[in-house]
Amino acid sequence: MAAPFLKKLALAFSAGALGGLANSLLLWALGIGGVTAALGVAIAPELTPAWLYPRLVWGGLWGGLLLAPLLSAAPWKRGLLLGLAPASVQLFIVFPYKAEKGVAGLALGEMTPVVVLFVNLAWGVVAAIAYRAFLNK
């Protein structure tokens, strides 16, 4: 009986980690391409294993949200909704309390919330699409 749940849990983690990879590559590309700088946002990470690894793990852990029975409609709609959770944590917990960058990371630039929301919505969409694809195999 536990096997189907464990399979879904593993698929959700894998889909979330894939979403974490998409999120990370998107944020890195925005930084290297000068988009974040043009927006006045001081986020331009280097693509290193030390930066990428925790983002994949956290993406996988956030993938647990894919198990919630909400919005069973199109995966992209579900992904957009789910992407709000990690974005909210980043903006209202990590930036102000862990990174000391102010509420919503505004110390990094006024457009920081937009960038964070954008890359986390990308995580959600990629994770939800991947999860649906993994389930259908």
DSSP string of 70-108, one letter each residue: ---S-HHHHHHHHTHHHHHHIIIIIIIIIS---GGGGGG
- Whole-number average pLDDT of the chain: 94
Where exactly are the structural domains of the chain? Answer: 42-65+72-137
Q: State the pLDDT confidence band at 137, using cuts at 50, 70 and 90.
A: confident
Cβ 75 vs Cβ 125: under 8 Å: yes
pLDDT at 60 over 60: yes
What is the percent of the chain where pLDDT is above 90?
Answer: 85
Question: Which residue from 75, 68, 74, 57 is spatially nearest to 18, judged by alpha carbons?
Answer: 57
The overall pTM is greater than 0.75 = yes
So what's the pLDDT on residue 1?
56
Q: Region 17-31: what's the mean pLDDT?
A: 98
